[in-house]
Amino acid sequence: MRQKIVKDTKMEEQIIAAAKRVFFTEGKLHATMQDIADEIGVTRPVVNYYFRTKDVLMEKFYKETIECLTVRLNFLLDTDSSFYNNISNFIEDSFNARNKYPYVDTFMVIEMNCRPLTSDLSEYKAEKFMKFLKIVQHEMDKGTILKTDPLNFLFDLFSLITYPLVIGPLYKNILAVADKRYKEAMAERKEIILKRLFAK
């Protein structure tokens, strides 16, 4: 007799948490629905009952990650704090998020090539970034940061945060960098990034 699966929010939350661990904490982006089922000790049909395919699950995570980025962007646009503090808060929040899910940036790069943003969402994000670039230009005019194309400041900010995380497995495996040393170096990243961005 076929087992009847009763849908409940707790099981759905367990599946989502397990999938995030497998994909974003362990970096197994090619993991299957069976791998997720094994992670929480259920059969694959249980996972498929909540999420019909892996693609459905990945699309959910993609949208969630975009929204999380939007929330973090608000740090950069906070008018009640200084530009320096806004950048500092953005860096810290970004690292906190990536400490839990170090492979989420790799996931986003792959998914953005497969799932372009909807026009409405893209315009909304572009508006936030353009507002930030105007703030950057203002800070350059004040002499707070090095004068260049404001886009270069944005490139530097994101690359200095994400590159060591995305390339981390290379350092650890090919260059034999011990996990302890890697974590110690990463702990210094925030201050290093701030010094580089605000060096004039």
CA distance 111 to 105: 10
Whether residues 179 and 116 share a domain: the answer is yes
DSSP 101: -
Task: Supply the CATH number for residue 32's domain.
Answer: 1.10.10.60
Whether residues 92 and 159 share a domain: the answer is yes
Q: Please give the pLDDT value at position 116.
A: 66
Whether residues 41 and 78 share a domain: the answer is no
Whether residues 132 and 180 share a domain: the answer is yes
- Of the candidates 9, 54, 58, 17, the one whose C-alpha atom is nearest the C-alpha of residue 39 is 17
Please name the residue ranges forming H helices in 41-118.
44-50, 54-76, 83-100, 104-114
Q: Which of 35, 52, 69 is the last residue of a domain?
A: 52
Whether residues 70 and 3 share a domain: the answer is no
Whether residues 116 and 137 share a domain: the answer is yes
Q: Please give the pLDDT value at position 2.
A: 44
In tens, the pLDDT along 68-98 reads: 887 888 888 888 899 999 999 999 999 988 8
Whether residues 21 and 116 share a domain: the answer is no
Whether residues 90 and 171 share a domain: the answer is yes
- Residue 19 burial (10 A CB sphere; 0-12, 13-18, 19+): buried
Q: Please give the pLDDT value at position 109.
A: 83
Whether residues 32 and 75 share a domain: the answer is no
Q: Which of 13, 29, 52 is the last residue of a domain?
A: 52
Q: Please give the pLDDT value at position 165.
A: 85
Predicted TM-score (pTM) above 0.85: no
- Of the candidates 139, 121, 149, the one whose C-alpha atom is nearest the C-alpha of residue 62 is 121
Whether residues 48 and 92 share a domain: the answer is no
Task: Supply the CATH number for residue 86's domain.
Answer: 1.10.357.10
Nearest-5° angle of CA 32, CA 108, CA 120?
Answer: 120
Q: Which of 10, 35, 52 is the last residue of a domain?
A: 52
DSSP 3: P
Please name the residue ranges forming H helices in 115-166.
119-142, 150-166
Q: Please give the pLDDT value at position 18.
A: 95
Number of domains the chain contains: 2
- The whole domain housing 15 covers 1-52
Whether residues 70 and 111 share a domain: the answer is yes
* C-alpha torsion 140→142→143→144, nearest 10: -80
pLDDT < 50 positions in the chain: 1-3
Whether residues 129 and 188 share a domain: the answer is yes
